Structure 1
Amino acid sequence: MSWAHIRSGAWLKGSIRLWLFDLGCVSFLGVALLGLVMVLGLPLILPADAQRKVDTLVLLMNMSIGSICIAIGWQMNRLAATEWACIVPQYRLNVMLQAAALLLLMLSVVCGFFIAYDAFDKITESLISLLLGLSFLYFSLARKNAFHFSFFLYISLPMLPYIEQILPQGANIVLVLLNLALMLLVSKKMLGLTWNNKARSVYLNGLEMGWIWLPSPRSMALLNRIERSLHPANYFIGPVFSMLLLLMPLTTLLLAGIGHYYAVEIPVLVFLVQFNCILCGMLHWSRIQRWRAVESLFVLPGFDGKQGMINAFMQAQYRLLAILVVSMMITASIVSLLDQSINLSVWLHMVLTTLFACAATLGLGSMCRNSIQISGLIFLIGLLSGWSSVGMSSAEQTQVWDLVAWDLLFLLLSIASLWRAKQCLWREDLLSR
């Protein structure tokens, strides 16, 4: 590595085209950028409750950290899949320097945030988020298939405050040392990166399956029935969609049982709301990533022209919404038997939140036509999951009927978005009427 090359700034050439014109990369960068924009804008509109304001901003900062790590992992995977990268002078080095600069810029913004808000008591959450992001980056460099688990970085965000509570005093020093050690390991892996024949298959799987790998479920009759009922909405994401529909409530019940046995408070219903919203977002993420597959869907038998295909897609979304709501009703009822703090109002709040949040995600997702818009939708999912936690984080865990009233208002808005989605889906797309 030449310091003269670094000082010259030549390594920045092509960075805009590389990072902002790649569909997969810009999707994650868009989430990170929206998180930073909201960190700057939310203090102007949030109520005067300083503690809640800081908690919300820390969540957004952690989401940005995870998104940056995933974007870097995506570029490293793409670099490993590029056969001609080794014959272009300094191409690999430039990409790695750009990735390092992006991560350092993100960390500088995070440090500035904690200094500006004097919120160093919350720095543990960001250190854990960085540890998870760097760990993901290291394992995705070591094993290309590990990139499929990028999905779980976003899921882990609501768990960070609970992880912080169980850590002993002085854990920040250990976390800093672990992050520095991981940075050294990641840099070593990046410098030794070579062409890998598995990287291309990971890239294609990312476009077609939403970057998640699960065993083939085609041999299960129940999953086949779910797949048929959700066609053509699940056409772009594949059979993994039906598998997640069943795994999410089962995992929620398992965590609820573990929390009840060990007397640990785990907001399992909040996690389930977030899982459901992310799953609805993935439905349209995969649709946008596989935009060329629209024509192959259109030529399948069973559709009466383009409008018939749109109607079938929307009806499948309605069926999906019904499945998610019924699943939440059953799961929340079982969890309430283990957690006495979940009364009728909290139960109704979680069910209505699932209904309007998933409806809004499906409606707005149908309106999305590019990666920037779908990144904004994923960011909205983070805010929706924050709303679902309001009822569960009440200090007295009593009645939350005032939140239920807001849920009903939000439900009207989400229904309006679903109605509007029918007019926007595949509007002026490759298909002609």
Structure 2
Amino acid sequence: MMQASTRPWYQGAVNFWLKDVGSASYFIAATITSFLCLIATGIEELITLMIMFSTICMYSAIAWQSIKMQATEWQTLVAGYREHVMFQGKVFIVFSNLISILSIIIAGNINLLVTLTLANLIGLIIWFLNRSFSHLFTSVCYLSFFIATLVCVLIEQLPIWLIPVNVVAYIAIVLANKNFSSAYKWRSDSLTNYRNGLQSGWSPIPSGLLSNYGSSINKGLFPLSYFVGSGLSQYLILLTLLCTLGVAVNLFYNITEHVIFVLTLTLFAIVSLSLWSKVQKHNSWELLSTLPIYNSSYSAKVALSNSVLKLAILVAILCFVTASTLSLVNPTFLIFNILSYSLACSAGVLLSFAIGNVCKNINLLSFFMCISFGLNMGLANYMFDNGDSVSKLTLMVAYTLAMAAINRFTARYL
């Protein structure tokens, strides 16, 4: 074992948090969203979601480092390795919270402090569970993000009395954590969980779920399904089921805007997962281009761009049918709103995959995906609420066609 040495707390931070693709995907998203909170202080619904998202993402990055420690023996070989990495993580958590508190002060809304304490409580649970049980990472993270999103969407303002409750729960978990199980202990299955997470993009869907029903979808979206795998059809089937559930509930309670928001959020989250899997398997491109169904590597690239276009068309149809059905209960939304919203979602899919065509570095992809995620979400929801004119619909048609052209053009860089 190496002897412990005095080192600056920030030493190795780039390698730990930006060059490790697992942590980087969450760390970059948390950092960007934290700073965007300072810009979105005037929009209560948006800043609430962003504070929740940035805080949970930062804890997820630390949880991923905890899994890496269970999957490797660095903490045994290098003295002080675990303490050094975890101290960096705690510094980043404090920094993220300070930015959130500053944005809350600027917004002048003390109810946002309740959101911040709840986000820290959820994040702490993610971290403490995964530093002992690596196999829980995917389910715990996605369940936490889902609960956080529902809280932000369905509850306008959390009560102030939750602040002391969250703080007490926070302290209780910290004090009692050593009684649960040993943390950061090396486990043989952790390496498998670590590798599967890198390859699958931490897909929350079990590999066998609905796999028997998606063969025709995967065949129709080939070669995109070659990179994403069976998860592509699973995502689309679950997205359709989600829309159906939302429409059914909307028959009894008017939750049109909530369903549209969750649909849009889920859609672009699915796109992000698909892009992650695609980039992770970019080394398989040469094998794909040698298949006898393609005359050259260029024809394979064109086929991939065509499959992305098919996916965008399917997304537009799904969004149009869902929004049209929802509008039967809430007739204030015109056909222009629905068409503009559907085109905005379709264009967002095309833009995201165009970025994936150009970006091979996972850190750059995470950075630009965070930006495009926010832009796509904002544009789609704006068009659903305000895209009520022929001029805006015309602009969305032009924007969608431009994104389709950019997706085809960037395919040459695959």
Shorter-normalised TM-score: what interval?
A: 0.7 to 0.9
State the AA in 2 paired with 1:82: T
- Specify the alignment match of 1:384 in structure 2: 376
Change beyond 3 A, Cα 1:253–1:173 = farther
1:119 partner SS: coil
Alpha-carbon distance in 1 for matches of 2:339, 2:291: 40
- Specify the alignment match of 1:35 in structure 2: 33
**1:210 and 2:201 equivalent?**
yes
- Specify the alignment match of 1:232 in structure 2: 223
**1:195 and 2:186 equivalent?**
yes
Give matches, 1:346-365, under 5 Å. 346-365=337-356
Alpha-carbon distance in 1 for matches of 2:56, 2:167: 17
- Specify the alignment match of 1:250 in structure 2: 241
State the AA in 1 paired with 2:115: E
Gaps of 5+ in 1: 44-49
1:165 partner SS: coil
Alpha-carbon distance in 2 for matches of 1:105, 1:422: 41
**1:421 and 2:407 equivalent?**
yes
Asked if the contact 2:352/2:369 (under 8 Å) is kept, the reply is yes
Give matches, 1:112-123, under 5 Å. 112-123=102-113
More divergent stretch after superposition (343-352 vs 373-382) = 343-352
Asked if the contact 2:247/2:325 (under 8 Å) is kept, the reply is no
State the AA in 1 paired with 2:138: H
RMSD over aligned Cα, in angstroms? Answer: 3.2
More divergent stretch after superposition (209-218 vs 232-241) = 209-218
Change beyond 3 A, Cα 1:283–1:411 = farther
State the AA in 2 paired with 1:35: T
Asked if the contact 1:298/1:306 (under 8 Å) is kept, the reply is yes
Asked if the contact 2:34/2:100 (under 8 Å) is kept, the reply is no
TM-score by length of 1: 0.82
Change beyond 3 A, Cα 1:68–1:168 = closer
Alpha-carbon distance in 2 for matches of 1:185, 1:255: 40
TM-score by length of 2: 0.85
Give matches, 1:31-430, under 5 Å. 31-40=29-38, 42=39, 51-52=42-43, 55-149=45-139, 150-151=141-142, 158-165=149-156, 167-168=158-159, 170-184=161-175, 192-212=183-203, 213-217=205-209, 220=212, 222-258=213-249, 260-261=251-252, 267-375=258-366, 376-390=368-382, 400-402=387-389, 405-406=391-392, 408-425=394-411, 427=413
State the AA in 2 paired with 1:311: V
Alpha-carbon distance in 1 for matches of 2:276, 2:61: 16
Percent identity reads: 21
Deviation at 1:37, TM superposition (A): 3.9
Deviation at 1:98, TM superposition (A): 2.0
CA offset digits 1:218-242 (Å, max 9, x no partner): 762x410001111111222211121
Alpha-carbon distance in 1 for matches of 2:236, 2:109: 38
Alpha-carbon distance in 1 for matches of 2:169, 2:378: 29
Alpha-carbon distance in 2 for matches of 1:216, 1:267: 30
Gaps of 5+ in 2: none
Asked if the contact 2:387/2:393 (under 8 Å) is kept, the reply is no
Asked if the contact 2:114/2:160 (under 8 Å) is kept, the reply is no
Change beyond 3 A, Cα 1:82–1:36 = same
Alpha-carbon distance in 2 for matches of 1:256, 1:182: 39
Deviation at 1:25, TM superposition (A): 1.6
- Specify the alignment match of 2:24 in structure 1: 26
Change beyond 3 A, Cα 1:312–1:199 = same
Asked if the contact 2:27/2:58 (under 8 Å) is kept, the reply is yes
2:227 partner SS: coil
Deviation at 1:169, TM superposition (A): 5.3
Alpha-carbon distance in 2 for matches of 1:265, 1:410: 22
Deviation at 1:51, TM superposition (A): 3.6
State the AA in 2 paired with 1:371: I
- Specify the alignment match of 2:12 in structure 1: 14
